[in-house]
Chain A
């Protein structure tokens, strides 16, 4: 998708006026986070699991070279073709070339933030390949030509009336508002595609180094379709997804669905280990894994920011974020939104291009409270803010105001004088402070003093 992170302020301001979107986003995120709270309440070992999950990720990423090497060797033993891509351009080219070399004209895709990140669809479509997103939410935003507004529920911002109108326009079906009917329209439309497509593309939530297995969580079954029926399966996997093995996977399986939607388990967890073997009746005949770096090694080397890579993309931090709830996902200007978007987008795209995002946080710590892998999001956002100031300095006005503020704090006398001036000054600058906020007649210092006398 187009990168619009530079226009964050403008987009956020526009979003603040969009009451329909705000209502939809906050209703959904409230529901997700209530469900999460309930699910965690029923899991007595939840806090210990979060700590363990953090440790596993820290360990795997600390020794990433070795972990990746082990994963690659295991996957190759299963007959999987493993390709390392330094960036999105290389990954897109690899997949495009693969499709063309096999004469594949149609691709079905399971939901994957990583492929959104590298803009894979646009690349494939430019080479004349038809690409269908098959997750219902992704399908909706693909038809609408939009990006995801939430990590796990990408079409959260759309009302059923909007979806109905979209389906009528793009698919030529009668206008139904009923979500059940709309879902069936998508089901029928996409069902044929699974059987026609020569290539299925998925992401992966985890990759297991010991066995070479990739793990995909979903509720709809579209990822299972996309990875079972087309004759070639390509999984695009960020290098940070590798964990040691099954035992560690157990920790994450208990946390991920509960964090995302409050489910005890996702409806489908697929552990895929290679193409169809001799004697098996289904599965693709060829399987590729694209291990994508695209800036992840750089983030890993930046020891302060390294925990950004522990993220499972569950969306829990979005659901509790007061900023995300007001401005929604699109304002962030790229694929990742909410607190995790504010954190990773500047690292992926460069601070220059996304310098407002780390500011879009109240530092209330709600995100850190719910993160299943205990990423200290507010602390990392502060680190980014510090770096932005170090590189660019503060804006002139903010710097001057801080200097004046600092000077006023040097003695009780100057503080009192400044307070007095400000109190009088506010009478002449209506609108400078928000409605209902006024400096009081007497400040605490004065009241205290009066009480003493």
Chain B
């Protein structure tokens, strides 16, 4: 199963939620943010090389370098320019065939680099911030996902401080909304590359993220 983690805005926590869900589902995380990747990378081929036809998709997956298997993305503009987003379909299917479930961290925006992962994915999770304007972005992302046939499993309202309008989100999006409370440990997930679902499993943030993972598992069985 391929799950796309999307959301119109940048900085709402798509990459963090991707890593957390990857850890909770024991899935392989693919950093598909071709222009502005932020998951850890290192020496070796990355998604830019794969999409430019310079590397094999399965060989670019990092195993044992952290808590989750990761297909990282390069950082250079030249790499982003050389990468052919239409090759993402075959890439994700190859990696999925080798490693099973995938969580794809999508870029912000509504261009093809955000749309192609949704077109390939079986389902998607929309991440939003608990601000008033965030609902409109979440609705736009949901519309794009619907157009491209990626069913919305859940909306994650991320970094909630004092109560989020869950019913409003659920009514507007037609999918369950899950609130992830603001927790500095979640904020450090990318920096330290230690997802809270492993490092602090009893926190409320980890419980919420596991609830999203459970919703994905249920969607997979259907």
A and B found bound together: no
What residues make up the interface of B, taking CB atoms closer than 8 Å to A?
none
What residues make up the interface of A, taking CB atoms closer than 8 Å to B?
none
